A and B are shown apart, each in its own frame.
Chain A
Amino acid sequence: RKEVEQDPGPFNVPEGATVAFNCTYSNSASQSFFWYRQDCRKEPKLLMSVYSSGNEDGRFTAQLNRASQYISLLIRDSKLSDSATYLCVLNTGTASKLTFGTGTRLQVTL
């Protein structure tokens, strides 16, 4: 099983739609979780951290389910500018590195 698994997509949604991505991870010792956004041919940028209690930032909501070992990202009222690849990222505590998923591509259309 891969350390981090994501559906590569693409998810094609109309503007204004709500879309959700899941990401599963295999290491139960993982302690820190993030969603990064990567635009085409650009570097990844931190979108939001994911906390056990769940967190919301505007139209974006992230959830963590430790029992089932997955995190999710919900985007409400999708905008054209949300089109990007969303990377699931986690850190396994004392490990000095972040592990990245392959990403889920989102395409928002008119």
Chain B
Amino acid sequence: ETGVTQTPRHLVMGMTNKKSLKCEQHLGHNAMYWYKQSAKKPLELMFVYNFKEQTENNSVPSRFSPECPNSSHLFLHLHTLQPEDSALYLCASSQDIGTGSGYTFGSGTRLTVV
């Protein structure tokens, strides 16, 4: 069973809705990440948090707003999304950043924007 839990597993939302994705890790890791995976594209890094501080924003549109209240929880707040934002959103964690340690991924939230 994965040590990284994401909810919801599936989400359908209209372009004017506001929703949030939740990620929780039970591994005692210090770093957490949001990735986007679209069909036939590599995983795209969105945000990096280390000890609950954001260390990287990979030029993500402001309609995606992350929040990291502590090292175990990560949220992605969604507002006024576009159909092209439909994708699999993956949360991951690692012991530390920059050390080359592998990541543990959550099962992802499959988002459809209508």
Partners in one complex: yes
Question: Which of A44, A99, A102: most chain B Cβ within 10 A?
Answer: A44
Q: Which of B2, B48, B100, B107 contacts A31 (CB 8 A)?
A: B100
User: Which residue of chain B is the closest to A91 with respect to CB atoms?
Assistant: B100
Contact A34-B102, Cβ < 8 Å, known A4-B42, A102-B42: yes
CA gap between A108 and B35 in the complex, in Å: 29
Q: Is B66 an interface residue (CB 8 A)?
A: no
A interface residues, how many (CB within 8 angstroms): 25
Query: What are the interface flags for A1-14 relative to B under an 8 Å C-beta threshold, 1 for contact and 0 otherwise?
Result: 00010001000000
Contact A100-B102, Cβ < 8 Å, known A43-B2, A43-B107: no
B56 touches A97 (CB 8 A): yes
Least Cβ–Cβ distance between B17 and chain A, in angstroms:
24
Q: Is B90 an interface residue (CB 8 A)?
A: yes
CA gap between A94 and B106 in the complex, in Å: 24
Contact A49-B102, Cβ < 8 Å, known A96-B97, A97-B33: yes
Query: What are the interface flags for A74-110 relative to B under an 8 Å C-beta threshold, 1 for contact and 0 otherwise?
Result: 0000000000000100010111111111110000000
CA gap between A64 and B102 in the complex, in Å: 17
Which chain B residues lie closer than 8 Å to A44 at the CB level? 43, 90, 105
Interface residues of B in 1-54 (CB under 8 A from A): 2, 31, 33, 40-43, 45, 48, 50
Question: Which of A32, A34, A95, A100: most chain B Cβ within 10 A?
Answer: A100
User: Which residue of chain B is the closest to A49 with respect to CB atoms?
Assistant: B102
Hey, which bits of chain A sit against chain B, CB under 8 A?
4, 8, 31-32, 34, 41-46, 49, 87, 91, 93-103
